[in-house]
Amino acid sequence: MNIEKNIAIVGLGQVGLYLYNELNSKKKEIEIKTGKKIKIVAISAKNKNKKRRFKIDKKIFFTNPIKIFKQKKIDILFECIGQSDGMSKKIVEYALKNKINVITPNKALIAKHGDALSKIAEKNNVNLEFEASVAGGIPILRTIKEGLATNKISKVYGILNGTTNYILSEMENSNETFDLVLKKAQKLGYAEPGNPKLDLNGFDAFAKIRILSALSFNTKISKSNCIMEGIQNIKLEDIKTASKLGLRVKLLGISEIINGRLFETVHPCLVSKNTYIGNVNGVMNAVITEGKPVGESLLQGEGAGPGPTSSSLLSDLLSILRGNIKYPFGISYKKRKSIKTFNNDNYANSLYLRFEVKDKQGVLSLITNRLSKFRISVKRIIQTPDKKNNKATIVIITHKTTEINIRKCLSLFKKNKNILKHPTLIRLYN
Amino acid sequence: MNIEKNIAIVGLGQVGLYLYNELNSKKKEIEIKTGKKIKIVAISAKNKNKKRRFKIDKKIFFTNPIKIFKQKKIDILFECIGQSDGMSKKIVEYALKNKINVITPNKALIAKHGDALSKIAEKNNVNLEFEASVAGGIPILRTIKEGLATNKISKVYGILNGTTNYILSEMENSNETFDLVLKKAQKLGYAEPGNPKLDLNGFDAFAKIRILSALSFNTKISKSNCIMEGIQNIKLEDIKTASKLGLRVKLLGISEIINGRLFETVHPCLVSKNTYIGNVNGVMNAVITEGKPVGESLLQGEGAGPGPTSSSLLSDLLSILRGNIKYPFGISYKKRKSIKTFNNDNYANSLYLRFEVKDKQGVLSLITNRLSKFRISVKRIIQTPDKKNNKATIVIITHKTTEINIRKCLSLFKKNKNILKHPTLIRLYN
C-alpha cells in the first residue's frame, strides 16, 4: 500500500495559504500521529505571482484547478476558495466522483449543497469533511458526530460569527458607533474589507446553523424560510440602553426541535450579563448543545482566523489519514430524515422595541394602545426626550408575544407621521 | 465478516447499570450510525440478586468475571468496577491480551497503569478507550486526540471534580459549613456515601490531570510528586472572605509545560468572580486548553453522574464500531516521550493566608515581620477580632512568592503559642 498521500490545495487566500504553511511544517508530526506521509503536490489560485505572506512552490502551481486532477494523482483535496457554487462546487464534485477525499472550510457550499455532495461521497466511498466550516477552531462537528454520538440532542445554539460578536463587544467597550467599529474590524482583519455583508446580515451564521441542525438531529439540510436578521440595525444607543437594563446584545444562531418540528433562526438577542453566553465577547465563538443523557455541553474557542480554521482542517486530515471512511453527516444519506419546519409565526419572545417619535403629547399612549390592542403587554417603558430636535426615544420591553402578532402590530406604525422610523426590534433570549 | 458485536459489562454500579440500560435501548440507533449490531452477552457484579433501578437479564449474569471470557466470545468489554488495581486491572489486561477491545471510565486505573495497558493494546492491535475517565460527558479526550490533534498544546486546566465544585458552590450559596454541605452532596448522590475522601483530597482530579497531560503533551504518564491539595481545609469563613474580595474558591487541576518541563498540580485556587472559570458552578466540569494555532478552547459540561458518563462510554463504543484501531493516547507508546518535571519549589503564586491567633498586641507584627524576612510582601490585611473568645482572624493576601519560600516561612509559625493553628493557605490563580 502506498503510504504517501498526495495533497492539493485549491484557493490560497488567508486560510489556504496558512494551511499550506502548516502542512509543510507539520509533516513529521502528522506521520507520527497517523503513520502516513503527506506531500503537497499541487496548489492553485487565481494569481500565481501575487505577493504572499508565505513563499509558495511555483513549480506545483496551477492556475486552472481542474488541470490538477488530469496531471497528478491526488488523494486529498483541500477546497479553500469559499464559493457556494462556481468553481468550489465544481472541483468538490469532480474530486468526490473520482474517489478523492475532500476537506473544506466552506460553510456556504455545505449549507447549500451538503446533502447532494455527501451522497456523492458515500456512493464513491470517500470522505467529505468540513469541521472548519462551523465555529473555526472549535471541533464542534466532530463532537456532535462522535463525542456526543448517541445523545438525543434537542437544541443547539450559540455565537457563530466572530466578526459580529467583535463589533457588538467593541461598540459596548469603546462607546463608538457601528460604522466606526466596523472600520476597526476591517482593519484588524476580522471583517471582509470589501463586502462584510454576509457576516453582518446573519447569512454566515445561518449557514452554520443549517449544518449544525443536520448533524444534531440527523436530518437533511433544511431549505425552509426562517427568521434571519443581522446586526446592521443595532445602534450604539440600543447597546447602551440594554447595558443599563443588565443586558447585552448578541447575535445568536438557534436550532431546536419544537413539537417534532425544526426551528432554525439567526437574530440579535438581548441576553443577561450574568449568563454564560452574555460573557462570550470579542471574536470568540461558543456553541451550546442540550442533549440526553449528557445534559448541557458547551464549547468555546476562537471562531475565526486562519490559525483556528487551520486547526480544524488538520483535524479532518488526521481523521482521513487514520484511515476510516465516515459518513459526512454522521449517518448515511439514506437514513437522514426530512423534517417538517416549525411555523415561524408561533415563535414567541419578550421584545425590546425602540421607537423614534416626535416629542408630542399622545404619542406614547398611541403606541401603548396599539400594543394593547394586540394583547402585547408592556413590562417596562423608558422614554428619553431629545428636546433640541423635538424628538423622543421610547424603549419598551414587552412580555412574551408571537412573531405574527408583533409583525401585524408593528406594520401599523408605518403609516403614522409621529413615528419617525420603523421601530427597532430586538428579541430577548428566553 | 461478523457484524454482530458481543459486549460484556463488568461492574453494575451506578454507571454500569445505566450503561446496560442505554445499550439495550439504543441498539437500533447504534446500528444506523455504525452499521454494526450489538448484543450484550454477559454482565457481572458481586451480587446477582441486589435490588436494582433497571431489571437485568440474570441468564447472562456472571459472579466471576473471568469466567465470561472462557464461556463467551466477547468483542468489547466495558470495565465499570473502578479499582486502580485488583479485578479491574486483571480483567482489562486479560481482555487486551486476548484481542478484546476495552472501554472504561476508570481514571484511577488509567492514571496508574495507562502506559502499560496501552502498550498491551497496541501490541494486540485492539482499542483501549477511556473518554469517560475525565470530565464525565465532556468529550475532552477525543477533542485533544482528534479535534485539536495537530495543535501544540502548552497548558490544560480546569474544574475536574463535580463533587468538590458542588460543595464549594453550595457553601457559598447556602452559607452552610463544609460538613453540612458534604452531607447534602452525599444525599444527592454527588459524593460517595461511604468514603468521599478521593474526591475531597484532590486524588480524583489528579488522576484526570495525569491523563490529560499525557494526551496533551504526547508524554508518558508522569509518576512524579506533585502539589496535591483538596478542599478539606476550606472553611465557610474562607469562602465568605474571598467573596468580599470578589473572589471564589475553586479546586483546579492544572498541567502545563514550563521551560520544557512538566508541571502538574491540583489545589484550591482563588479566582476572580468575573472570570469564566469563576462562574462554573455546581456539579459542572470545565476544561480549558491553550494551544497553537487554535488559541484558547473551552469545554464545559456535566462532570459526573451515570448519564454524562454513559454518553462518553457510548462515544467510545461508536468509535470502535466504526472500525478503526486507534492508539489509546493518540500516538504510539514508543513515540510518547518521558518528560522531566518542573521543580515544585519554584511554583509561584500570590497567596491567601488565614491565621487564627490570640488577640494580643504584637501578634500581627510578628506575622508581618516573618513574612518580610522571607521577602513575602503583603498586598492586603484583613483582621477580624473575636473578642468573646479572645481570638482574632488575620487574613493576608500576599504578592507572588515561591512554594519553597512560603513553606519555610509558614513552618516557623508552628512553634508559636500565639498562632493557634497552622495557617490556611489558598493560592490565587494567576
DSSP A341: B
Q: What is the pLDDT of residue A83?
A: 95
Q: Which grid cell is A170?
A: 467593541
In this prediction, residue B357 has a pLDDT band, given cuts at 50, 70 and 90, of very high
In this prediction, residue A190 has a pLDDT band, given cuts at 50, 70 and 90, of confident
- Whether B1 has a pLDDT exceeding 90, the answer reads no
Instruction: Give contacts of A 117-156 with B, CB under 8 A.
Output: 131, 137-139, 142-143, 146-151
Domain presence at residue A327: no
- Whether A276 has a pLDDT exceeding 80, the answer reads yes
Q: Residue A96 corresponds to which amino acid? A: L
How many domains is chain B partitioned into structurally? Answer: 3
In this prediction, residue B246 has a pLDDT band, given cuts at 50, 70 and 90, of very high
Last residue of a domain, one of B98, B133, B168: B133
pLDDT in tens, B205-242: 999 999 999 999 999 999 988 999 999 999 999 999 99
Q: Residue B353 corresponds to which amino acid? A: L
Nearest beta carbon to residue B29 from set A138, A150, A326: A150
In this prediction, residue A233 has a pLDDT band, given cuts at 50, 70 and 90, of very high
Q: Are residue A121 and residue A146 in the same domain, yes or no? A: no
Q: What is the pLDDT of residue A163?
A: 93
Is the distance from CB of B248 to CB of B240 less than 8 angstroms?
no
Using a CB–CB cutoff of 8 Å, tell me whether B1 touches chain A: no
Q: Are residue A277 and residue A181 in the same domain, yes or no? A: yes
The CATH number assigned to the domain holding A194 equals 3.30.360.10
Q: Which grid cell is B374?
A: 522571607
Q: How far is CA B122 from the centre of its chain?
A: 26
Q: Which chain A positions have a beta carbon within 8 Å of B33's beta carbon?
A: 149-150, 330-331
- Whether B67 has a pLDDT exceeding 60, the answer reads yes
DSSP A147: I
Last residue of a domain, one of A344, A376, A400: A344
Q: What is the pLDDT of residue A141?
A: 97
Query: Could you give the 3-state DSSP secondary structure of residue B198?
Result: helix
Q: What is the pLDDT of residue B403?
A: 96
Q: What is the pLDDT of residue B334?
A: 95
Q: Is A388 considered catalytic here?
A: no
CA A421-A423-A427 angle, 5° bins: 160
pLDDT in tens, B5-56: 999 999 999 899 999 999 999 999 999 999 999 999 999 999 999 999 999 9
For residue B263, the distance in angstroms to the closest alpha carbon of chain A comes to 23
Q: Are residue B74 and residue B110 in the same domain, yes or no? A: yes
Q: Which grid cell is A215?
A: 448533524
**Residues B96, B101: Cα–Cα separation, whole Å:** 6
Query: Could you give the 3-state DSSP secondary structure of residue B374?
Result: coil
Nearest beta carbon to residue A311 from set B32, B131, B151: B151
Least confident of B20-34, B186-200, B255-269: B186-200
Q: What is the pLDDT of residue A87?
A: 97
Q: Are residue B127 and residue B214 in the same domain, yes or no? A: no
Half-sphere exposure of A121 (CA within 13 A, CB side): 27
Average pLDDT in the A108-117 region?
Answer: 97
Do the Cβ atoms of A142 and B138 come within 8 Å? Answer: no
For residue B35, the distance in angstroms to the closest alpha carbon of chain A comes to 9
pLDDT in tens, A351-372: 999 999 999 989 999 999 999 9
Q: What percent of chain B stands above pLDDT 70? A: 99
The CATH number assigned to the domain holding A107 equals 3.40.50.720
Average pLDDT in the A129-135 region?
Answer: 96
Q: What is the pLDDT of residue A194?
A: 67
Q: Residue B402 corresponds to which amino acid? A: T
Q: Are residue A120 and residue A145 in the same domain, yes or no? A: no
- Whether A195 has a pLDDT exceeding 80, the answer reads no
Q: Which grid cell is B216?
A: 496533551
Between A419 and A303, residue with greater pLDDT: A419
Q: Are residue B129 and residue B207 in the same domain, yes or no? A: no
Q: Which chain B positions have a beta carbon within 8 Å of A306's beta carbon?
A: 293
Q: Are residue A168 and residue A125 in the same domain, yes or no? A: no
The CATH number assigned to the domain holding A353 equals 3.30.70.260
Count of CB atoms situated within 10 Å of the CB of A99 = 11
Domain presence at residue A356: yes
Q: What is the pLDDT of residue A323?
A: 80
In this prediction, residue B325 has a pLDDT band, given cuts at 50, 70 and 90, of confident
- Whether A224 has a pLDDT exceeding 60, the answer reads yes
pLDDT in tens, B361-399: 899 999 999 999 999 999 999 999 999 999 999 999 999
Is the distance from CB of A346 to CB of A403 less than 8 angstroms?
yes
ipTM of model: 0.85
Number of CB pairs, chain A paired with chain B, less than 8 A apart = 159
Count of CB atoms situated within 10 Å of the CB of B383 = 14
For residue B18, the chain A residue with the least C-alpha distance is A293
Q: What is the pLDDT of residue B195?
A: 77
Q: What percent of chain B stands above pLDDT 90? A: 90
Average pLDDT in the A293-317 region?
Answer: 93
Do the Cβ atoms of A149 and B314 come within 8 Å? Answer: yes
What range defines the domain where residue A358 resides? 346-428
Q: Are residue A63 and residue A124 in the same domain, yes or no? A: yes
Q: What is the pLDDT of residue A54?
A: 93
Using a CB–CB cutoff of 8 Å, tell me whether B285 touches chain A: no
For residue A315, the distance in angstroms to the closest alpha carbon of chain B comes to 5
Q: Which chain B positions have a beta carbon within 8 Å of A292's beta carbon?
A: 307
Using a CB–CB cutoff of 8 Å, tell me whether B325 touches chain A: no
For residue A133, the distance in angstroms to the closest alpha carbon of chain B comes to 13
- Whether A193 has a pLDDT exceeding 70, the answer reads no
Count of CB atoms situated within 10 Å of the CB of A385 = 12
- Whether B192 has a pLDDT exceeding 90, the answer reads no
Last residue of a domain, one of B133, B161, B176: B133
Using a CB–CB cutoff of 8 Å, tell me whether B412 touches chain A: no
Tell me the average pLDDT of chain B: 94
Q: Residue B354 corresponds to which amino acid? A: R
Separation in Å, CA A368 to CA A238, A387, A390, B147: 20, 22, 20, 52
What Rg, from alpha-carbon coordinates, does chain A have? 24
Give the mutation candidate from B299, B309, B327, B337 for the A interface (greatest A CB count, under 10 A).
Answer: B299
Domain presence at residue B412: yes
Separation in Å, CA B429 to CA A380, B82, B259, B277, B400: 41, 32, 19, 10, 11
